Amino acid sequence: MRKIDWLLAWMPTFAVSVVIALLLGQNIGRSAAIGLAISASSLGAAAILNGRQTARLMLLEQQTAEGERAGKLVAELPNLQAQYQQWSAQSDRLYRLIQEKERELAERHNNVGTVNGQIAALKERARELQEAIAPLVKDKDNLERRVAAIKRSYPDLENLEQLQARIEQSKLEKSTLEGQITALSERLSTLQEGEKELSKLEATAIARQVDLEQANSQLQALQVRAGELAKSSAKLEVVQNSYNELLRQRQNLEEKVNKLDLDRQRLELSIEEKAAEYDRLLENQPQIKDMRRVLHSLRLEQEELEVENRRLKQEAANLQGVVQDPLHSLKQPLWSEADTREPWSSDRANNEQQFLRDFSQYAQQCGFHFPERVILAFHTSLKVQGISALVVLAGISGTGKSELPQLYAKYIGAKFLMLAVQPRWDSPQDLLGFYNYMENQFKPTPLIQGIYQYNRSPRLQNRIAIVLLDEMNLARVEYYFSEFLSKLERRRNHEAYLDIDLGNLPLAEEERHFKIPEQFLFAGTMNEDETTQILSDKVLDRANAIAMPRPTKLELGRVSSTVAATNIALPEGYLTYEQFRAWFQVPDPDSAAVREVEKLLAQTNEVMEEMGHPFAHRVYQAIAQYAVNYPGAEDINSERFRWALADSFAQKILPKLRGIVIGDRQMQQNLDELGAIINAIGDKSLAAAFAKARQGYQFQWKGMSYE
């Protein structure tokens, strides 16, 4: 036999022998030795059986090819096992995440009532899932036993074809199992939708909390067992995405439930009022008959008077050929112009820090103890109304939200106007007035009267006017104030004008179209209770919201601002708008303060973008102006500069995150990064408010307490 023939006869025998030894659990060295021994024996047999060498060679070549195919299949087994272990680890992480979500769900079910039907449906779905899983587990065990049997029977090379058929069958069974696992994942997603149905019934399901927890435990067990059957990380991502979608849907439903609950409370209050009115009517029923008799006689008199009235109107129309001015009500003065006070002296007006100290002392004499940071924030917000056109004072009732703007206006001698917002306000006409076509009269509001008077009175041109929208979130702010707020924002670079609807009246342009004076400064108050609306991002971007802290010490004997105004001396004269604007500083891009703000906001915006809530130029410009104009914040290392930065984060940035779900690991990491930036500012109040806001399932920003 030629050397090449001996080599060809030896190599497949050695390779197949090594594969068999590895399948039997031998190490690589021992497998090689066994292969060499078997190969040597084969070569000896080949030398003895030289006559049958050609037939044997063909058989060995066929067996070599089959051995190589079998070796490849066997080589894939460790990869499959590694993928299985990797998926199992991912499944464990999913299980822990599901446990966390289920615990959060259990905490939110404190108000759950009777849900027997829903629990029964959930248990039935769990039972069906368990029945679907059982045959899959059995198939998996059978597959593992088949693989073990193949490993034990593999030494017989003549059975390679049978082994190949078994492996192909195993692949088919594996594909079948994967299809069943996909269907199982879809059923699992359907089962998880039951959580959304449960969340709708949170207000009525507290009596069966124990049963719900047991069902959740069964669901967790089923999810673990289902996870053990999965063979691909892609399926895990599908399940995770489906779960996140359910959480987002649940969040939306919770918001709808809260809104419906508020509507229900309003309806209950209305029903109680109607019931009380009905009771009063029942009590007065004996008087109704007498009143009806009186009413009948009055109607007769009314008919006679109406005849006489029509006769008199006809006579008046014949005598009077003039039509009443449709702007008569608008032209009525809102403020007295008999004030003879002179502007403040330059010494008083130039010292802003002394002004703030004197005002704080004045407020205390009137019985109001506002924190220093509240006064500084309110004063600074009025200074930067060129870019933040509204300052909002928010807090619980009784914290002095309405009194602070009144005291401020009284102290500087400004004109003051309070508008009480009503829940029915739903259009700009409620704020500015409307034209009554039936009466041929424009029905103005005090605000439009003040603006009209200001534009036509030379004595008012340099006076400050402060307008307060009291309880402005009793109605949706966007409905009645959004258009006007956009016009106020234009005052930053252009003159802003109002147009009033006067129908087809032949009036001059200046009677329909007049300027919003830049001397008008706008403030608003917000009560934080179940009857109020929240502010949208559009309003928050164009406003500064200041949280009024609850009093740390309750006091008696607070003096009202009306009484205080008559008993406590005020500065002589008034602060002019020109003197007030002299306190305003234009940000210098090269200043240390602006560079510090720019660096801080650049870091913050990167994190905000990852969370899906980036901000743009308006927010940066507003924060830069606020920091530069904050009294005493010239030094970037000073405490007041840190106060200015903390105020800006609380007013402009953190409210954008209100309502985001923080259970996601990436979101937690982003909040940690944002928390590091906040901690670097060095303001304890801001850090504490941020930590409190991220404690729950959602980011609940309630504002920063200005202690």
What is the residue-wise DSSP string for 317-350? HHH------TTTTTTS-SS-----PPBPPHHHHH
State how far the Cα of 156 lies from the Cα of 138, in Å rounded to an integer: 28
State how far the Cα of 82 lies from the Cα of 85, in Å rounded to an integer: 5
Both 115 and 24 in one domain: the answer is: no
pLDDT at 2: 47
- pLDDT over 90, % of the chain: 31
Give pLDDT tens digits for 130-157.
676 777 667 667 777 776 776 666 555 4
pLDDT at 41: 52
Both 365 and 487 in one domain: the answer is: yes
Q: Give the alpha-carbon dihedral of 280, 285, 289, 290, to 10 degrees.
A: -60
CA distances from 307 to 295, 300, 302, 310 (A): 18, 11, 9, 5
Question: For 56-79, what is the mean pLDDT?
Answer: 63
Both 144 and 44 in one domain: the answer is: no
Question: For 114-122, what is the mean pLDDT?
Answer: 64
Q: Do 434 and 501 touch, CB atoms closer than 8 A?
A: yes
Give pLDDT tens digits for 38-49.
555 555 544 544
**Phi/psi of residue 433, each to 5°?**
110, 175
Which residue among 258, 289, 323 closes a domain? Answer: 258
Decide if 138 is inside a domain: yes
Both 514 and 607 in one domain: the answer is: no
Give pLDDT tens digits for 529-575.
654 557 788 888 889 999 887 765 656 555 444 444 456 778 889 99
Domain count, the chain: 4
Which residue among 192, 223, 258 closes a domain? Answer: 258
Average pLDDT across the chain, whole number = 77
Instruction: Please check the confidence at residue 80 and state whether its pLDDT lies above 90.
Output: no
Decide if 104 is inside a domain: yes
341 vs 316: which has the higher pLDDT: 341
Name the H helices within 491-616.
509-512, 537-541, 561-567, 577-582, 592-610
Both 467 and 545 in one domain: the answer is: yes
Q: Give the alpha-carbon dihedral of 445, 451, 452, 453, to 10 degrees.
A: 110
Both 474 and 569 in one domain: the answer is: yes
| Number of residues that this document lists for the chain | 707
Instruction: Please check the confidence at residue 34 and state whether its pLDDT lies above 70.
Output: no
Decide if 217 is inside a domain: yes
pLDDT at 452: 93
State how far the Cα of 350 lies from the Cα of 329, in Å rounded to an integer: 40
Decide if 11 is inside a domain: yes
Both 531 and 651 in one domain: the answer is: no
State how far the Cα of 18 lies from the Cα of 24, in Å rounded to an integer: 10
Calculate helix-pair angle for 116-153, 209-229, nearest 10 degrees: 20
Q: Do 418 and 472 touch, CB atoms closer than 8 A?
A: no
Give the Cβ contact number of residue 574 at 10 Å: 20
CA distances from 385 to 388, 409, 540, 626 (A): 5, 16, 13, 10
Decide if 280 is inside a domain: no
Closest among 446, 347, 365 to 411, alpha carbons compared: 365
Which residue among 258, 293, 328 closes a domain? Answer: 258
Decide if 675 is inside a domain: yes
Predicted confidence band at 499 (pLDDT cuts at 50, 70, 90)? Answer: confident
Query: Can you tell me whether residue 498 is helix, strand or coil?
Result: strand
Q: Do 118 and 201 touch, CB atoms closer than 8 A?
A: yes
CA atoms within 13 A on the CB side of 72: 7
Question: For 498-525, what is the mean pLDDT?
Answer: 86
Both 84 and 23 in one domain: the answer is: no
Both 213 and 120 in one domain: the answer is: yes
Give pLDDT tens digits for 400-451.
899 999 999 999 999 999 999 999 999 999 999 998 888 888 899 999 999 9
CATH of the domain at 443: 3.40.50.300
Q: Do 230 and 91 touch, CB atoms closer than 8 A?
A: yes
Question: For 485-496, what is the mean pLDDT?
Answer: 86
Both 143 and 21 in one domain: the answer is: no
Both 43 and 108 in one domain: the answer is: no
Both 79 and 27 in one domain: the answer is: no
Q: Do 164 and 62 touch, CB atoms closer than 8 A?
A: no
Range of the domain at 371: 346-551+560-582
Decide if 512 is inside a domain: yes
Decide if 88 is inside a domain: yes
Instruction: Please check the confidence at residue 582 and state whether its pLDDT lies above 80.
Output: yes
